[in-house]
A and B are shown apart, each in its own frame.
Chain A
Amino acid sequence: MGYEKTLKLEHRGMRAMLPEVKRNAGADLDVRDFFPSGNDVLDRWRLRRFREYQSYGFPVWRRVGLTSFEPPRVEGYRGLENIDEEGLALLEELDFEGSDRKFVLMADVFSMAGEYVVVSSPQEKVVVEVDQDVANSLLDLRGGDLTLVRIVRRERFVGNLRVKVREKARFKLVNLHLVGKGGTSIDNVFLDVETGASVEVYDFYSGGRVNVGFLAVRFSGEDATAKVRPYYAVSSGSATDVLYQMRFYGRRNEGTVDSKGVVTGESKVVFRGVLDILPGAKDTVAHQRNHTFLISGSAKAEAIPSLFVGENDVVASHAHSSSPLDETAVFYLMTRGCSETEARELLIKGTFEDLREELRNFELEAVLDHALEGLV
């Protein structure tokens, strides 16, 4: 079974050739790092993926300055050890390429944290702090309403999260990446959304030297909605490269990506948005929007939007922009008694106000405030 490609450049039997990713043949995990899970069915699946894993080197990502990757130290297996045949079939169904296949496979084979969970309770809220460098989770949401707050507070991180949101289920994900200074984080999230389901995502990136994020929504059914709100606070010379993909298979689905963030100092953000409306996905509504506030003259923002439309009756748009803080707003706040520094701080923090409001439900605003310290 093939996996969901990040870019599927095919049209009426024609296929675009993509340039090959440059790869690095440095130190890598090997068979000595393969620890049995205690679940033979799972381990056979892991071994197959391990063989594929070995066939790739680590990608060289020049845009974020990642030319080599030091693999994490693996000390055992934890993650999907309780999975059954049904769960494995779902794993296959939710197989994907992510930001790079190598890292998706790494988390599949060598995870040290994660779980396989089937959820069908009417309403549940869960806060999970990922406590290992490599994590792999699979959620099968069979109904009801689940809110998952996932906190990644690591020096180094490679992770997968796959979620099947079945018919009419509701799923909210609050995904917080708080990477330690100098660290590298690579997170791949794949959501499959069935008929009538709804998804809401708050995805926050801060810290680290290199932060790479991938989040895909696959609309496999009809009449579903997904609202994705990415946020990023990039400082201290770090680079963040995020890709948000929505692929529409069925009819009358509605997906929006509405992103904003702040970049300071010598830092950089690369924002990629892919909206892919396949033939047959009639009456799709798909929008992506991104705005970056550049707080210093040397801060950089690069936007790479892609809109693939293979169906006539759709509404689709993308808009990307960057600007310094609005000096008129700074002055306005100063005429209300704020010093210039306070005014800028209010505006920068204001960029994340909707996220803070969401975190207030879990008394986690301090986590965000801490991450934003020193941005001004």
Chain B
Amino acid sequence: MLLRVENLRASLVGSEKLILKGVNLEMGFGEVHVLMGPNGSGKSTLANVIVGNPKFKVVSGDILFEGESILNAKPHERVAKGIFMTFQSPVEVDGVRLKQLLLTSYRKIHGDDSSFYQLEREMKRLAEELGLRPEFFDRFVNVGFSGGEKKKSEILQASFLKPKLLILDEIDSGLDVDALKLVLKMVNALREQGTSLLIITHYTRILEHLDVNKVHVYLDGKIVASGDKWLAYEVEKSGYALVGER
């Protein structure tokens, strides 16, 4: 098992109010899972807790990655284990160039075996696939990027760093049809290389481009239903509440 989330309860630091109210989730190696739920149900919180955002505290339960609890691991240690998340609204990081960040991250995760030129060549190849100019890497991370460029930057980082588990938090929001196709092409490429995907989304359109192992319906801080991709279409037809009541 790659990821096992066991009865996870979590709240914001300094608050008693639970946002995650007993989440259970199991993902095998190479699997693709989709998490769907209404706004404010806590989907992004689950993703943030898995990657170790210090804004949240785990009240009970556990997160096991490749059989080991990662609750005490810092975010960068979780990255080193192979967990990577793309953000719904990536923050602007003034003064830090994308190329600098990618090289630093790559070497931390994969070591120093690849030369600068090899890594730069790979960056250029990925940029080309996403229709980005090479100068993109010289820009400060997310500063002045359009919404589409931010999403492309996120998937580009993921593709470059090749994680074992990639959590995509609404990667499809704010992308036009053509951009979405390009992004999902890269997501599929990652999957083919063995990366497991946890996709958080509101839309079924992403399912048209991806083979999915499981769809989970997430309501009020926990998973209330799981099934194949047809569950997503049922949600679209009947709404979250009806599916949750089953």
The residues of A with any CB-CB pair to B shorter than 8 Å are 326, 328-329, 331-340, 342, 346-347, 349-354
The residues of B with any CB-CB pair to A shorter than 8 Å are 51-55, 74-76, 79-80, 84-85, 87, 90-97, 101, 104-105, 108-109, 140-141, 157, 161
User: Which residues of chain B come closer than 8 Å to A342, judged between CB atoms?
Assistant: 76, 104
Complex CA–CA separation, A308 to B143 (angstroms): 33
| Besides A331-B54, A333-B101, A353-B97, 18 new A-B residue pairs in contact (Cβ under 8 A), listed by A number | A328-B91, A332-B91, A332-B93, A333-B96, A336-B79, A336-B161, A337-B161, A338-B108, A340-B76, A342-B76, A346-B95, A347-B93, A349-B95, A351-B94, A353-B94, A353-B95, A353-B96, A353-B140
Q: Is the CB of B104 within 8 A of A332?
A: no
B205 to chain A minimum Cβ distance, whole angstroms, is: 26
User: Which residues of chain B come closer than 8 Å to A334, judged between CB atoms?
Assistant: 52, 74-76, 79
Q: Quick one: which of A329, A337, A339, A340 contacts B93, CB cutoff 8 A?
A: A329
Complex CA–CA separation, A342 to B108 (angstroms): 12
8 A-B pairs within 8 Å (CB atoms) are namely: A329-B91, A329-B92, A337-B104, A338-B76, A338-B104, A338-B108, A350-B94, A351-B95
Given contacts A338-B104, A353-B140, A331 and B75 within 8 Å (CB-CB): yes
Q: Is the CB of B91 within 8 A of A337?
A: no
Closest chain B residue, CB of each to CB of A353: B95
Q: Which 5 A-B pairs have the closest CB atoms?
A: A350-B95, A334-B75, A337-B108, A353-B95, A337-B105
Given contacts A337-B76, A337-B79, A337-B80, A350 and B96 within 8 Å (CB-CB): yes
User: Which residues of chain A come closer than 8 Å to B79, judged between CB atoms?
Assistant: 334-337
The prevalent SS among residues of A at the interface is helix
Complex CA–CA separation, A151 to B101 (angstroms): 30
Complex CA–CA separation, A20 to B51 (angstroms): 59
Complex CA–CA separation, A335 to B105 (angstroms): 9
Most buried by A among B74, B76, B79: B76
Q: Quick one: which of B74, B87, B95, B109 contacts A352, CB cutoff 8 A?
A: B95
Closest chain A residue, CB of each to CB of B83: A335
User: Which residues of chain A come closer than 8 Å to B101, judged between CB atoms?
Assistant: 333, 336, 346
Complex CA–CA separation, A70 to B92 (angstroms): 46
User: Which residues of chain B come closer than 8 Å to A349, judged between CB atoms?
Assistant: 95
Complex CA–CA separation, A335 to B158 (angstroms): 11
Q: Is the CB of A350 within 8 A of B93?
A: yes
User: Which residues of chain B come closer than 8 Å to A350, judged between CB atoms?
Assistant: 93-96, 140
Q: Quick one: which of A326, A332, A354 contacts B87, CB cutoff 8 A?
A: A332
Q: Is the CB of A336 within 8 A of B95?
A: no
Complex CA–CA separation, A333 to B51 (angstroms): 12
Q: Quick one: which of A333, A339, A354 contacts B74, CB cutoff 8 A?
A: A339
Closest chain A residue, CB of each to CB of B167: A335
A5 to chain B minimum Cβ distance, whole angstroms, is: 36
User: Which residues of chain A come closer than 8 Å to B97, judged between CB atoms?
Assistant: 353
User: Which residues of chain B come closer than 8 Å to A337, judged between CB atoms?
Assistant: 76, 79-80, 104-105, 108-109, 161
Closest chain A residue, CB of each to CB of B53: A331
Closest chain A residue, CB of each to CB of B97: A353
Complex CA–CA separation, A353 to B87 (angstroms): 25
User: Which residues of chain B come closer than 8 Å to A336, judged between CB atoms?
Assistant: 79, 101, 104-105, 157, 161
User: Which residues of chain A come closer than 8 Å to B87, judged between CB atoms?
Assistant: 332
Q: Is the CB of B75 within 8 A of A347?
A: no
Q: Quick one: which of B55, B84, B104, B140 contacts A335, CB cutoff 8 A?
A: B84
Most buried by B among A332, A347, A349, A351: A332
Complex CA–CA separation, A351 to B96 (angstroms): 9
User: Which residues of chain A come closer than 8 Å to B95, judged between CB atoms?
Assistant: 346-347, 349-354
